[in-house]
Structure formats: structure tokens, C-alpha cells
């Protein structure tokens, strides 16, 4: 059960966000809370990653950041975004207190807004 997953839904289109690039970083204490890239992934046709972003021993207690590259996805999906989009990357910083649990971080997305929560 120990794993980190995500799911991205395009709420403007009413469908999963397919092909959206995601980077996962871990914050390392000291040196100004340096970030280390852990994994890069893309969502599949269901808006999910084919594998958990982290699982098993790789999933550790600590602070993480998910970076969703939403402008790239929205342009490819046909949105006519300005040169400087309102949302370029959506960045979610979150903590994992108990890595024995399943942490699911969904993203509900449109060109001008988003929401997230800890899912199941």
C-alpha cells in the first residue's frame, strides 16, 4: 500500500489529461532545502501514470514537490493561451508523514484554475 500516485483531470474538457508531463522532487534538508529530481513521468489516456511515482523503500517520510507542466498540455490540447499563460506549471508542495500509507495527489485542471486534495 506504500506508494505515491497522481491523476489529472481536465475539468474544462471533462476528460482525463493525457500526455501531461510531471516531475517529482524531494526536498533535502540543509543547503536552503535543495530539491532533488526523483522521477519524470507522463500521464496515460486515463490521466494517470502507468506506475506509482514512488513505492516501496523509495517512498520515504519527508517533503515533496509535484510539478505539472500544464501550459504545454493545454496548448497541445488546443487551448489558445497567451505567450505568458496564467498557469504555466502547477506546483504542489506536500508532506509525507507516514510512508506506509497510500498518498494520492490528484489535480483538477483548467486553463485558469486548478484544485488538488489528498485522495485515496
Cα angle 18, 19, 21; round to 5:
125
Residue 32: predicted pLDDT: 64
Q: Is 32 helix (H, G, I), strand (E, B) or coil?
A: coil
CATH no., domain 3-111: 2.60.40.180
What are 103's strand-pairing partners? 4
DSSP structural state of residue 12: T
The pTM score is: 0.94
pLDDT tens, 78-90?
Answer: 999 999 999 999 9
pLDDT band (50, 70, 90) for residue 29: confident
Query: Does 28 have pLDDT greater than 90?
Result: no
pLDDT band (50, 70, 90) for residue 27: very high
Instruction: Calculate the average pLDDT of the chain.
Output: 95
Q: Which residues are within 8 A (CB) of 27 and not within 5 positions of it... i.e. 6 or more apart?
A: 33, 34, 35, 36, 62, 63, 64, 65, 93
Helix, strand, coil percentages (3-state) for the chain, rounded to 5, are: 10, 50, 45
pLDDT tens, 35-67?
Answer: 999 999 999 999 999 999 999 999 999 999 999
Q: Checking DSSP bridges between strand 15-16 and strand 113-116, what pairing results, if any?
A: unpaired
pLDDT band (50, 70, 90) for residue 120: confident
Q: What DSSP string runs through 51-105? A: S-SEEGGG--SEEEEEEE-HHHHHHHTT----SS-S-S-EEEEEEES-TTSEEEE
Residue 33: predicted pLDDT: 74
Amino acid at each position: 500500500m506504500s506508494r505515491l500516485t497522481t491523476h489529472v483531470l481536465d475539468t474544462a474538457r471533462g476528460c482525463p489529461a493525457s500526455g501531461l508531463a510531471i516531475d517529482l522532487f524531494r526536498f533535502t534538508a540543509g543547503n536552503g532545502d535543495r530539491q532533488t529530481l526523483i522521477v519524470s513521468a507522463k500521464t496515460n489516456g486515463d490521466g494517470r501514470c502507468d506506475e506509482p511515482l514512488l513505492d516501496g523503500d523509495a517512498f520515504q517520510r519527508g517533503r515533496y514537490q509535484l510539478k505539472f507542466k500544464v501550459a504545454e498540455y493545454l496548448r497541445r490540447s488546443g487551448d489558445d493561451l497567451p505567450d505568458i499563460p496564467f498557469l504555466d506549471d502547477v506546483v504542489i508542495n506536500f508532506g509525507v508523514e507516514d510512508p506506509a500509507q497510500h498518498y494520492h495527489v490528484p489535480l483538477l485542471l483548467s486553463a485558469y484554475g486548478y484544485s488538488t486534495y489528498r485522495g485515496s
